Every structure is written in C-alpha cells, then in structure tokens.
Amino acid sequence: MGRIAVVTDSTADLPAQVREELGIATIPLNVLWGNETLKDGIDIDAETFYARLKVDKELPKTSQPSAGEFVDFFRRVAEEQNVDTIVGLFISAELSGTISSAEIAKGLFSDVRIEVINSLSTSMGLGFQVLTAAQAARQGASVEEVIEAAQRVRYRQQVLFVVDTLEFLHRGGRIGGAQRLMGTALQLKPLLELEGGKIEAVEKVRTKRKAIDRLLSIALERKGNAPVEGAAVIHADDAEEAWLLQEQAQKLLGIDQVYVSILSPVLGTHTGPGTVGLTFHTR
C-alpha cells in the first residue's frame, strides 16, 4: 500500500504540535493589508495580527493561494514525505476559493494521486477532520478509508460561535444566512453556526455572556446521548473568555481534553476580534 500524506490550509487552526507529530503540511492563505501580501501564519501570526487590527485604520482583506502555489506545495509534500498520494482537506468552498485553486493544481500535477476534499467547514471544524484523516493514514488506512474517516467527523460535528458584531462578516461577503440578523440593536450578540459549509444564523442574544451560555445549552441539546469524540474552543483575541468556555465545555460535554485555538489571521479578518466558539463531534 502506498504512502499517504494528509494536507490542509492555514485556516484549520490545528495546534502546531499536532501538525508536527502527524506530519500535516499546511498551505497558507493570504492576508492583504494595504500594499502588503502576508502569508497566513508565516509572515504574520495571530497575536501580531490582532494587535495590529486594533490600531490600523485600514482593514485587511484575504485571498486564497493560487493554483501555481498549490502545484509547488503538492510537489514539495510529495518529495519531502516520499508519498504517492496526497489527500487535501481545505476550507469550505462556500467561504473561500481555496478548493478551486487546489482542483486546478490537481489537473496540472501528475506526479502523485491527489484527492481534494471540501471540508464544508473551517477552523477546528476543519482541523478535526484533518486530524482524524492523518491518524487513519498513519495507521495504514487506504485512501478511501482516510477520506471516510474525515467524512465521519464532518457529518457528526457542530460548529457554533458568537461574534461581537456582524460587520466584519458582512464587509467580507461571508455573512451567508446571518444576513437576517443585520440591523438589530447593537448590544445584541449574534449566535451563529457553520451548516452545509455556510455561516447561518442561530439566534440573537442580549449579551455576550448570555450568548455563550446559550451556545453551551444548544451544544448539549445537539450532543444528545452520544459520547463526544473531540472538542475545541476557538477565539479571536479573547483568551480569557476562551479558557472559561473550555472549562465549561469539559464539564458539559463530559470530555477531558478540549483544545483551545486562536483563529488564524485570515479567519479573524472575517469574524472580527472578540469571536468565541465551540466545535465538537460525536462518536
């Protein structure tokens, strides 16, 4: 059986230690800030990004990697990891053109077999699919089994999050079904979810604390009686709230390990600072 490499993009928000242990190569998306094109997680890290976002009068934009960058990326992975198959799991095609670039590159690169998979998610919703697929590949699974492992996570996961304002999602064109909450009173905090690869509105709550409490109660409802296999708290420069949510999620979901990940600069560009969320998948 040939060797398989599982790869992803910089929005997966997987902890660096996990990526290194499993050999998960990552292609960066781009943050466009003024005249600068910054590689997500390479030219600018999350801490630097959020610090600059507070003081810079110009707001950043984002773009996906080009097909040419993907060809170079696939070639590097094939050579460095000595594989004959690459399984790429990337940010939802509803949120980014990354999948499109990867598909074009796939057609230009014939050295190894390449499978491009639309995760229908991002951040740790994508990250858990990548993690599970990489673990399957390491255990000797076939390409089909690796993809199936990721899909099992995809269809059993929830991604819920609270934003301070919808303005960033609206400005970046990623607002999706949350559009219906626009124009509500400023103090209301939108509770959103990723559903079918799109951002959808769940409901609006009067304060952030109550919105997070409501997020937890919805998570518990959706979990039902199924055991939770993996969970992560995600945040955009709100570590204090994230660690509190982690503690609550551990107790509520009955799981010992809950990752805490800061949203990458590309995702932070669209959610804005202060975003806090929870993703989990059941067995």
Query: pLDDT tens across 4-41, in order?
Result: 999 999 999 999 999 999 999 999 999 999 999 999 99
Residue 178: band (very low, low, confident or very high) from pLDDT cuts 50, 70, 90:
very low
- Residue (of 111, 125, 46, 120) closest to 73 by Cα position: 111
- pLDDT, position 201: 87
Least confident of 112-121, 147-156, 199-208: 199-208
With tokens 């997966």, the residue in question is 12
Cβ–Cβ contacts within 10 Å for residue 206, how many? 11
For tokens 């014939």, name the residue. 110
**Residues 89-97, mean pLDDT to the nearest whole number:** 97
Asked if 89 and 8 touch (Cβ cutoff 8 Å), the reply is yes
Burial tier of 140 (Cβ tally within 10 Å: 0-12, 13-18, 19+)? exposed
Q: What is the distance between the alpha carbons of residues 33 and 62, in angstroms, rounded to a whole number?
A: 8
> What are the tens digits of pLDDT across the range 247-272?
999 999 999 999 999 999 999 998 88
Confidence of residue 204 (pLDDT cuts 50, 70, 90): confident
Q: Residue 177: is its pLDDT beyond 50?
A: no
Residue 58 is classified by DSSP as S
pTM of the model: 0.92
Q: Which residues pair with 33 in a beta bridge?
A: 36
Please state the length of the chain. Answer: 283
User: 189: part of which helix (H) or strand (E)?
Assistant: strand 189-195
Confidence of residue 185 (pLDDT cuts 50, 70, 90): very low
Q: Sign of the C-alpha dihedral, residues 9, 14, 16, 18?
A: negative
Please return the burial class of 283, using the count of CB atoms within 10 Å of its CB with bins 0-12, 13-18 and 19+: exposed
Residue 214 has pLDDT above 70, yes or no: yes
